[in-house]
C-alpha cells in the first residue's frame, strides 16, 4: 500500500507541516522523511529548541525548515486572513495574534496560506485540538455538510497480500444523524478506494435486516437505503450485525440474499462510541495496523495522530496525509 502512495508522491512531492516540532517521534520521522525525495517536512517551533531536541536524541535534521510563530515574516498577513476567516465570531487582531502563537492554529494557517500542502498533528495535542482549527479555518469542501473520518486497517496475510479494510466514523462525529451517516458512508467509499479497497459497505447495528428494534437500528437502515439511492453501483447492506457482515456462514442464515453479507470491507458505525471501540478492538485483538483518523471532506489534508503513536506511525501517516494532497 505504501509503495503505491510513495510513487504518487515521487511524481508530485509535497510539503507537510508538523505543529509539534520538538516531539521526539516527530523528529525521528522527519529525519527519515528528510532523507527521502518525496516529502518535505516543515517543523513548527523555536529553531534553537527544535535542533537541540533533535541533537539530544541523535536525529539528523540538518537542512530542515523550522518556522517559528514568534519570528514568522508573514505574521501580519496571517493575522489579517485569520480575522477575515473568523469575522462571524468577532475575532479581533489582538485575539488572532494570541491564538496564532499556538502551533496547532499557526500550522493550520500555513496550509491555508499555501505555505504547505498538508498538516499532521496530534502527537501531543488531543484530537479535538488538532481538528478544531481545521474545521474553523480550512472548513468542509463545497457541497459537504460535515467533516468526518475513516481508519484504514491493514493486516498481513500468510499469502503475502495484505487484508485492507475501512472503518468510519470512529473519531469525529459523536452521534451522527441519519443523513450524516449517509455522507460518512459515501466519503468512506472514496477513501477506501484510494487505498485499493473495492468497497462492500456494511451499515453496522445490533440488528440484521429487522431482527432487532430501536431508534439506531432505524437510523442505520434508513441511512443505508438513502446511500444506495445516491450510489446504486456500490454494494451496500444495512442494517447488519458485524458477524453477518464478515462471516459467510452467519450471513447465509441472517441475510442469505445479501451481496455484502460475509464479505464486507467498509464498515460504517452508528456513533463514535461503537466506531472508536470497534477499530481499537480490531487493532489490539485482531492484529490490524490502524492508519488514521484520516479526515474526510476537508478542503485540505489535515490529519490527527494518536497521542500514543510511535515514530513509525508518524512516518506512515505523513505519507498517507501527503498522498491525499
Ligand X SMILES: CC(C)(COP(=O)(O)OP(=O)(O)OC[C@H]1O[C@@H](n2cnc3c(N)ncnc32)[C@H](O)[C@@H]1OP(=O)(O)O)[C@@H](O)C(=O)NCCC(=O)NCCS
**36 neighbors 63 (Cβ within 8 angstroms):** no
Task: Find the shortest distance in angstroms from Cβ 309 to ligand X.
Answer: 12
Dump the DSSP string for 267-313: EE-SSHHHHHHHHHHHHHTS--EEEEEEEESBSS-EEE--TT--HHH
Residue number, nearest CB to ligand X: 135
Residue with Cβ nearer ligand X (171 or 227): 171
Residue with Cβ nearer ligand X (149 or 266): 149
- Grid cell in block for residue 273: 462510541
How far is 260 from 306, CA to CA, in rounded Å?
31
Quick check: bond before 293 cis, omega within 30?
yes
Task: Find the shortest distance in angstroms from Cβ 100 to ligand X.
Answer: 16
Task: Find the shortest distance in angstroms from Cβ 126 to ligand X.
Answer: 7
Residue with Cβ nearer ligand X (261 or 297): 297
How far is 122 from 200, CA to CA, in rounded Å?
31
Task: Find the shortest distance in angstroms from Cβ 150 to ligand X.
Answer: 12
Stated as kind and residue range, the H or E segment containing 195 is: none
**306 neighbors 283 (Cβ within 8 angstroms):** no
Q: CA neighbours within 13 Å on the CB side: how many for 229?
A: 8
| Helices and strands (H, E) in the chain, number of each type | 13, 11
Enumerate binding residues for ligand X (CB under 6 A). Answer: 127-128, 131-132, 135-136, 140, 146-147, 171-174, 276, 293
Task: Find the shortest distance in angstroms from Cβ 256 to ligand X.
Answer: 36
Residue with Cβ nearer ligand X (187 or 237): 187
Residue with Cβ nearer ligand X (34 or 300): 300
**Which residue from 308, 300, 319, 29 is spatially nearest to 152, judged by alpha carbons?**
319
Range 308-314, long-range pairs (CB < 8 A, 24+ positions): 309/25, 309/122, 309/123, 310/25, 311/24, 311/25, 311/28, 311/29, 311/32, 312/29, 313/25, 314/25, 314/26, 314/28, 314/29, 314/120, 314/123
Residue with Cβ nearer ligand X (95 or 243): 95
Residue with Cβ nearer ligand X (172 or 182): 172
Residue with Cβ nearer ligand X (256 or 308): 308
Task: Find the shortest distance in angstroms from Cβ 151 to ligand X.
Answer: 9
Task: Find the shortest distance in angstroms from Cβ 319 to ligand X.
Answer: 20
Task: Find the shortest distance in angstroms from Cβ 237 to ligand X.
Answer: 25
Amino acid at each position: 500500500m505504501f509503495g503505491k502512495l510513495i510513487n504518487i508522491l515521487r511524481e508530485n512531492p509535497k510539503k507537510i507541516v508538523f505543529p509539534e516540532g520538538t516531539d521526539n517521534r516527530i523528529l525521528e520521522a522527519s529525519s527519515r522523511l528528510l532523507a527521502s525525495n518525496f516529502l518535505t517536512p516543515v517543523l513548527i517551533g523555536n529553531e534553537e529548541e527544535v535542533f537541540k531536541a533533535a541533537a539530544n536524541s541523535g536525529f539528523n535534521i540538518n537542512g530542515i525548515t523550522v518556522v517559528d510563530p514568534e519570528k514568522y515574516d508573514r505574521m501580519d498577513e496571517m493575522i489579517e486572513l485569520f480575522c477575515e476567516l473568523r469575522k462571524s465570531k468577532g475575532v479581533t487582531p489582538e485575539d488572532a495574534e494570541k491564538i496564532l502563537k499556538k502551533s496547532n492554529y499557526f500550522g493550520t494557517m500555513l496550509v491555508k496560506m499555501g505555505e504547505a500542502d498538508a498538516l499532521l498533528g496530534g502527537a501531543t495535542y488531543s484530537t479535538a485540538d488538532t481538528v478544531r482549527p481545521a474545521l474553523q479555518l480550512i472548513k468542509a469542501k463545497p457541497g459537504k455538510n460535515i467533516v468526518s473520518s475513516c481508519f484504514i486497517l491493514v493486516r498481513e496475510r500468510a499469502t503475502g497480500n495484505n487484508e485492507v479494510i475501512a472503518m468510519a466514523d470512529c473519531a469525529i462525529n459523536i452521534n451522527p444523524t441519519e443523513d450524516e451517516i449517509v455522507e460518512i458512508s459515501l466519503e468512506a467509499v472514496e477513501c477506501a478506494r484510494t487505498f485499493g479497497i473495492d468497497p462492500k459497505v456494511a451499515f453496522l447495528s445490533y440488528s440484521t435486516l429487522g431482527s432487532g428494534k430501536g431508534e439506531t437500528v432505524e437510523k442505520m437502515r434508513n441511512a443505508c437505503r438513502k446511500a444506495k439511492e445516491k450510489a446504486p453501483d456500490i454494494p451496500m447492506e444495512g442494517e447488519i450485525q458485524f458477524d453477518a457482515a464478515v462471516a459467510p456462514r452467519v450471513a447465509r442464515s441472517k441475510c442469505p440474499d445479501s451481496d455484502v453479507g460475509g464479505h464486507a470491507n467498509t464498515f460504517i458505525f452508528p456513533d463514535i462510541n461503537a466506531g472508536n471501540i470497534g477499530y481499537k478492538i480490531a487493532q489490539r485483538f485482531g492484529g490490524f495496523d490502524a492508519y488514521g483518523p484520516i479526515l474526510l471532506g476537508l478542503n485540505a489534508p489535515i490529519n490527527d495522530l494518536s497521542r500514543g503513536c510511535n515514530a513509525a506511525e508518524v512516518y506512515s501517516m505523513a505519507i498517507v496525509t501527503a498522498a491525499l494532497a
